[in-house]
Amino acid sequence: MAIFTVVCVAAACAGDGDAVITPESTLAPDITSPTSATTPAPTPAPTTTPATTPTTPETPTTEVDEVFRSTSVGDPRYPTLGTAGIDVEHYDVALDIDPTSGRLDATVRISGTFTVATDQLSFDLDGPTVRTASVDGDEVDATVEGRDVVLHLDDVRDVGDGFVAEIAVTSRVEDGPSFGPDAGVFVSDDGLWSVNEPDGVSTWMPVNDHPTDKATWTFDITVPTDVEAVANGELDDITVSGDSTTWTWRQDDPMASYLVLLLVDDYEFVDDGEIELSSGTVSLHHVVLDGRRDDLEPYIDVTRRQLEFFDELFGPYPFDRYGLAIADSQPGLAMETQGLPLFSVADLDGSLGPLQHLLLAHELAHQWFGDAVSPATWDDIWLNEGFATYAQMLWFDEIGMSTIEREAELALRSLPDDGWPLSAPTELFGTVSYNGGAAALHALRLTIGDDDFFALLRRWVVDHDEGTATTAEFERVAEEVSGRDLGDFFDEWVDSPDGPPDEYPASATEDG
């Protein structure tokens, strides 16, 4: 992904603006991690939130005791997030936004299927006030329990039964600091913008807010006629009614909730035609602030070149459209929102240097690693950030801005003494996840050779496209592709609580 607090080598680098990339190194400096509010230490899941495998008491006393109830998917880092026992298939999100006051009214129709027998539906909701709730057209009792809204059903629903829940909520986006310890929606000078990784969507609408339950989405966003509203997917309709306009966006590819994009401001839409890749025809559509169209120009050709480069290395681009959203958002912050990554106009300001190449490559690579294949738990974040960081290093090598050997050595030298292991880092969005992940990938490349390494990356996306995966699964696929026992390698470079070795392994091939 990418959400940090300084300009960094990450997918969504969040920045304070005081970190710079010097000529000595194209790697970003150490990342200042979010506070513990964003990356809390693992805590036991509450007893009322069972893990994804349902259990029943040995001696049930009532029928209700046999029913599975969940307000968590059991993520070790975020034990309150998600709901087990349901498969959400589609979100119809109707938003009525007043950017002046910050009031946001959301009515969300959530369609899905029960995967266990239960008498309740639970969704993540952290802050908004619930106005109404219904299931399958019937009004139901709804209670807010911590970070969840629980809908109480009149009877037990069986495995395979479908549901349509509709929940209306109201929240307010307050003026104040930009992205930092929390994710969600933030105020700009003339509108709103959002960064939702890892748990921001649930601060403004009900959602199964965990990557393990991807869904398709429709957004109907009503705003004043003097601004535009932007979300993921294809712009399907624009409806003007009096002094308001409703912008309808349709995301047909399954998407994790943390990849949702929401922008409200005075925007211009730029159609850059199509590009032919191994996956077929990909449409290119960009979004820029009104009057800043010229700022986009240097990045149009770079984006096309990067798409062709990564498509060859990583396999077919996983979606049918791509573009850049250059917004009045926090400088030093970028986010791999699916199909339309978010950048700050302060960073993509029309110049084209190491920072711009880094951000563009990083967020594009995330479309494969993070968006198409998402982390099964948030401890697996290096499968997003390490891969995107290594991709930006590959791009620097491709355009002659640096060499992969130099970048890999700089990454290894930048690693801290603590915060390990890579497979469960202390700081979710810190140097361990980014540079440590990239260093592990380079070490793996040297160990198994170029052919097997890039075959592994392509196989990884094919095997897990539209889904999620774990570090253990990556090790298994690496062993299958290379035909090697890589247990010792992963023990040293990925799972060691003391961090990786100080030197890279010898190359497996002459051209390593």
pLDDT, tens digit, for every residue of 253-279?
999 999 999 999 999 999 999 999 999
The predicted structure's pLDDT at residue 45: 35
Domain 45-179+191-262, CATH among 3.40.50.10490, 3.10.620.30, 2.60.40.1730, 1.10.287.130: 2.60.40.1730
452-488 pLDDT, tens digit each: 999 999 999 999 999 999 999 999 999 999 999 999 9
Q: Give the least confident one: 17-26, 72-81, 392-401, 500-509.
A: 17-26
Judged by average pLDDT, the poorest of 43-47, 173-177, 318-322, 342-346 is: 43-47
> What percent of the chain lies above the pLDDT cut of 70?
86
Residue 371 DSSP symbol = T
Averaged pLDDT, 417-444: 98
pLDDT tens digits, 313-367: 999 999 999 999 999 999 999 999 999 999 999 999 999 999 999 999 999 999 9
**pLDDT higher for 7 or 483?**
483
Closest CA to 233 of 327, 371, 382, 74: 371
* DSSP letter, residue 503: S
In tens, the pLDDT along 107-135 reads: 999 999 999 999 999 999 999 999 999 99
Residue 413: both structure tokens together: 């030298």
What pLDDT is attached to residue 182? 83
Structure tokens at 81: 């997030």
Report the pLDDT averaged over residues 304-317. Answer: 98
Token pair of 415 as six digits:
């690693």
State pLDDT tens for residues 197-254: 999 999 999 999 999 999 999 999 999 999 999 999 999 999 999 999 999 999 999 9
Secondary structure of residue 421 in the 3-state scheme: coil
Distance CA 171, CA 166 (A): 17
| Contact by Cβ (8 Å): 122, 88 | no
- Determine contact, residues 213/111, Cβ cutoff 8 Å: no
Task: Identify the pLDDT of residue 176.
Answer: 74
Strands 267-277 and 280-289: antiparallel
pLDDT-derived band at 374, boundaries 50, 70, 90 = very high
Q: How many residues does the chain have?
A: 512
Positions of E strands within 256-405: 263-265, 267-277, 280-289, 321-322, 325-327, 342-344, 373-375
* Residue for token pair 């077929």: 280
For residue 191 the two structure tokens come to 């509108």
Per-residue pLDDT at 178? 73
pLDDT score, position 509: 59
Tally of CB atoms within 10 A around 41: 7
Mean pLDDT (the chain) is: 88
Domain boundaries, the chain: 45-179+191-262
pLDDT exceeding 90 applies to what percent of the chain? Answer: 83
5: left (phi over 0), alpha (psi -120 to 50) or beta: alpha
Q: How far apart are CA 372 and CA 402, in angstroms?
A: 28
Contacts of residue 33, Cβ cutoff 8 Å, sequence gap at least 6: 4, 5, 39, 427, 428, 429, 430
In one-letter notation, the amino acid at residue 399 is I
Q: How far apart are CA 507 and CA 487, in angstroms?
A: 18
Bond preceding residue 375 cis, omega within 30 of 0? no
pLDDT of residue 511: 43
What is the model's pLDDT at position 49? 34
**In the predicted structure, residue 55 carries a pLDDT above the cut 60:** no
Dihedral of the alpha carbons of 314, 22, 300, 276, in degrees to the nearest 10: -10
